[in-house]
């Protein structure tokens, strides 16, 4: 049933490749645990005690609570799938609770380093340079997810209206406005893109040096390479640019609901985490500037 579940989240739920890989890895680990501890080959037959034992074993192995909670979430989705398809009659996850975790604020890059990266650092005027800068401009200028960037097609661009359309989680489309400088960057890139690939069937906007569709590791390496020039943050990923986009908008007074829509969050609660960054920044300003601080 695991393979059916993975097909379900890929083709019906339309989850990202990264998420599907994580789910698959979690379920493989769970299946191995059941096999060696209980000689059980079918994970759908696991009960509450078996699941609890797996969680306890991970705690004893000093695995971070946040990672364990992600695996718990995987099992919750899996057994919910089994329940809806009447493979099981009782959900063994009902009594399983997530472990307590320390709240961590989203990591982001300050405005000045981002300005240095996009305005001061020289990018070559060939295909590679124009593409690399465009990737950074798109991630920081729109807040889109890695999977959304990779899936972005030329037909999703509306350069006349200065907008683009991305396909987000749960197969939902959203329109994101883009500024004029980003529009120009896209136009310049598209001219050189034609020289790299003659494959008219490949309509994905961002392509590799060989003219094929970009893939997660390719973008991750690209982003890390350039962010390393302006920040010492341990995390230098595409998602950090998404956090940076949201935090900078909020710091400059953008409405939280508008940021929610731009990010494609399903609820305001997911967006409110960025308000904590703004509060922390206000505290620092207060401490530095107020005579009684």
CA distance 230 to 218: 20
For 239, other C-beta atoms within 10 Å of its C-beta total 15
Is 169 annotated as catalytic? yes
Residue 91: phi, psi to the nearest 5? -90, 115
Contact present, 206 and 134 (Cβ < 8 Å): yes
Classify residue 72 by burial, with Cβ atoms within 10 Å: 0-12, 13-18, 19+: buried
The catalytic residue among 8, 107, 239, 276 is 239
The catalytic residue among 17, 107, 153, 169 is 169
Is 242 annotated as catalytic? yes
The catalytic residue among 131, 193, 242, 248 is 242
Tokens standing for 115? 């300005």
The catalytic residue among 145, 193, 248, 260 is 145
Contact present, 271 and 240 (Cβ < 8 Å): no
For 185, other C-beta atoms within 10 Å of its C-beta total 22
R_g (Cα) of the chain, nearest Å? 22
| Residues annotated catalytic, as ranges | 145, 169, 239, 242, 265, 274
């Amino acid at each position: 049933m695991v393979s059916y579940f993975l097909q379900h989240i890929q083709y019906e739920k339309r989850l990202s490749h990264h998420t599907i890989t994580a789910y698959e890895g979690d379920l493989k680990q769970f299946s191995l645990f059941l096999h060696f501890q209980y000689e059980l080959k079918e994970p759908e037959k696991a009960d509450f005690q078996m699941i609890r034992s797996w969680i306890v074993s991970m705690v004893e192995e000093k695995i971070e609570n946040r990672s364990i909670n992600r695996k718990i979430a995987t099992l919750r989705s899996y057994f919910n799938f089994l329940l809806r398809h009447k493979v099981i009659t009782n959900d063994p996850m009902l009594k399983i609770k997530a472990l307590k975790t320390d709240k961590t604020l989203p990591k982001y890059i300050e405005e000045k380093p981002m300005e240095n990266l996009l305005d001061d650092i020289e990018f070559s005027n060939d295909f590679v340079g124009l593409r690399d800068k465009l990737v950074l401009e798109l991630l920081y200028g729109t807040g889109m997810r890695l999977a959304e960037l990779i899936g972005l097609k030329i037909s999703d661009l509306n350069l006349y209206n200065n907008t683009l359309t991305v396909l987000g989680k749960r197969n939902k489309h959203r329109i994101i406005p883009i500024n004029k400088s980003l529009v120009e960057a896209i136009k310049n890139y598209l001219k050189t893109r034609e020289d790299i690939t003659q494959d008219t069937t490949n309509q994905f906007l961002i392509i590799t040096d060989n003219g094929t569709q970009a893939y997660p590791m390719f973008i991750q390496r690209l982003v890390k390479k350039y962010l390393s020039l302006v920040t010492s943050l341990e995390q230098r990923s595409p998602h950090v640019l998404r956090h940076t986009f949201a935090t900078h908008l909020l710091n400059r007074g953008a409405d939280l609901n508008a940021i929610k829509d731009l990010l494609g969050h399903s609820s305001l609660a997911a967006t409110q985490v960025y308000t904590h960054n703004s509060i922390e920044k206000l505290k620092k300003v207060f401490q530095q500037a107020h005579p009684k601080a």
